[in-house]
């Protein structure tokens, strides 16, 4: 019997892949738009609230995301207190990833910062951006009267 993601996640605390699985389209869109405007960089995503008890396939999780251009990463590292020995590897990955196929992502939540190079997406960032444009109504929240 396969253990449910939410149970597995609650036992091991590894929520990041579940978040990425549910929010890949807006993350890919932001990565591509950021690249078009600023060049290489990283999507920084702050998840609000506790992640250990979320049923990721049913619960909308509040988060904020922004694109940090490569030239501004040093300031980002200082703000997040990223260890100096981790910076060169991340900066090299940001400088060399293929934005047409991959995205750099930093997730901040109720655990240690999670940095990942998302490689070989089934729907690459440019296509995420196109889909977000084509499906804008699905992603627009309208206030209730």
Rounded average pLDDT per 10-residue block, the chain, 145 residues: 41 75 92 97 88 75 93 86 83 94 91 86 92 72 58
* pLDDT attached to residue 141: 58
This prediction has a pTM of 0.80
Do the beta carbons of residue 129 and residue 29 sit within 8 Å? Answer: yes
Give the length of the chain: 145
- The alpha helices in 39-112, defined as continuous H runs, are 73-80, 87-96
- Of 37, 11, 40, 38, give the one whose Cα is nearest residue 102: 40
Do the beta carbons of residue 32 and residue 126 sit within 8 Å? Answer: yes
Measured CA to CA, the distance from residue 41 to residue 99 in angstroms comes to 9
Q: Can you give the residue ranges of every domain in the chain?
A: 5-135
* pLDDT attached to residue 10: 42
Bridge partner list, 63: 47
SS3 category, 2: coil
Measured CA to CA, the distance from residue 76 to residue 111 in angstroms comes to 18
CB contact set of 57 (below 8 Å; sequence gap of 6+): 5, 22
* pLDDT attached to residue 129: 92
* pLDDT attached to residue 1: 37
The sign of the CA dihedral 16, 21, 25, 31 is positive
Measured CA to CA, the distance from residue 139 to residue 92 in angstroms comes to 33
Do the beta carbons of residue 106 and residue 43 sit within 8 Å? Answer: yes
């Amino acid at each position: 019997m396969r253990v449910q993601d939410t149970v597995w996640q609650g036992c091991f605390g590894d929520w990041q892949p579940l978040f990425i699985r549910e929010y890949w389209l807006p993350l890919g869109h932001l990565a591509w738009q950021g690249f078009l405007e600023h060049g290489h960089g990283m999507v920084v995503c702050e998840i609000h609230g506790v992640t250990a008890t979320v049923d990721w396939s049913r619960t909308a999780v509040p988060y904020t995301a922004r694109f940090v251009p490569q030239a501004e990463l040093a300031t980002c590292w200082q703000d997040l207190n990223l260890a100096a020995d981790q910076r060169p590897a991340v900066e090299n990955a940001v400088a060399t990833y293929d934005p047409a196929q991959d995205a750099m992502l930093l997730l901040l939540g109720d655990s240690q910062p999670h940095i990942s190079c998302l490689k070989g997406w089934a729907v690459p960032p440019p296509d995420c951006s196109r889909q977000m444009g084509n499906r804008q109504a699905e992603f627009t929240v309208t206030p209730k009267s």
